[in-house]
A and B are shown apart, each in its own frame.
Chain A
Amino acid sequence: MTRVLVVDDEPQIISVLQTSLAASGYDVQTADDGESALYAFKRWRPELIITDLSMSRMGGIALCQTLRASSDVPIIVLSVKNEEATKVQALEAGADDYLTKPFGMDELLARVKAALRRAWSHRPETKLLEEGDFRVDLEAHRTEIRGKEIRLTPKEFDLLTVLLYNAGKVLTHATLLTEIWGKTYVNQPDAIRVLVRQLRNKIEPNPHLPKYLKTEPWIGYRFEPGR
């Protein structure tokens, strides 16, 4: 059974999540703040961590930072709406994904599965990227969607590659800017917006209601490669 550690200071939420995750076949332990989560992590080595952001002794962000110093364990952050700045901080501190309270269990289970899949599949040393509807030849710079070739500019190609490597994961504006233009341009979210629009025009059937390259409002983007 996959070991999942749930961290939250609300006993009601802890108990619901524990029951639901256990019913879906996960081995669950819980902690009620960051410090006890760290202790449980060392002792029990969970394969995934789900954590709240605001807790009294060591919050979610500090927990992400501390864990990342020594581990790649996937972390999913739970937070309430209107906390975008905190969510971005958490993602930049190493969280893999976030979910806004209140959420449906199906949503959480899907995110858990996706995060585990990403963690288990190590990035292959391959020249060919295949995800869902997309097939990208990294050496020849060829891109196909459902077998149909599309032509991308070098920057569009870079963006699509980063997105495919991180399929299903939220990428903040800052992460994408750094990946594509380098550290100097971190404060230029408009640049990424324009580039995203260009790429959408080429890959999306309806660029205004995107199916692959989704906007995570005020935070960044998430790529769903289809199937």
Chain B
Amino acid sequence: MKDPYEILGLQRGASKEEVKHAYRILAKKYHPDMNVDNPLADLAEEKFKEIQQAYDDIMNGSSSSSSYTTNGYNNSNSNLNAIRQQVNVGRYQDAIRALNSVLDRNAEWNFLMGVCYVNLGSTGQGVQFVQRAVSMEPSNIEYQNFLTQITNMQRAYQSKTYNYGRGGSNSTDCCTQLICADCLCECLGGDLISCC
């Protein structure tokens, strides 16, 4: 399979913002609407799909995935295995119904319940279930990973809000000052940097 970064004309490890820019430019170029009269419209459409796939792969691959799922490995409990299958295919409501009729509420039960709740948007309760699963069985990597994924996402958001407006390390660099000067000029009716 071709490297998704290569498809977007980028170096591996390009930033998210670079990926978004590259996707925008290429998607516009190959969009079916833009190529109606093009004799190579079929090729363009194929290329368009490839770009879309590459974008999705990059966006869902590296960050804390787009859907919070179980990793599908089986425990010994056959009763919960069937429910796990439902969770894996996204039938969360059915899974919750089935889980509610299980009497032995062990760590895995709490974990599966948590995964269902998080995916249905009841994030607060979902996290509580998974936390309970982790405290019942602290050595279980699957439960821990799930919780870490969510904690990392929360941390990422908090650090972005913390750093927002603080400008990071280059707040006083020459470029920022120029832009500030540009804003001031625009205020007074002039323009220092013509492009912005």
A complexed with B: no
Residues of A within 8 A of B (CB): none
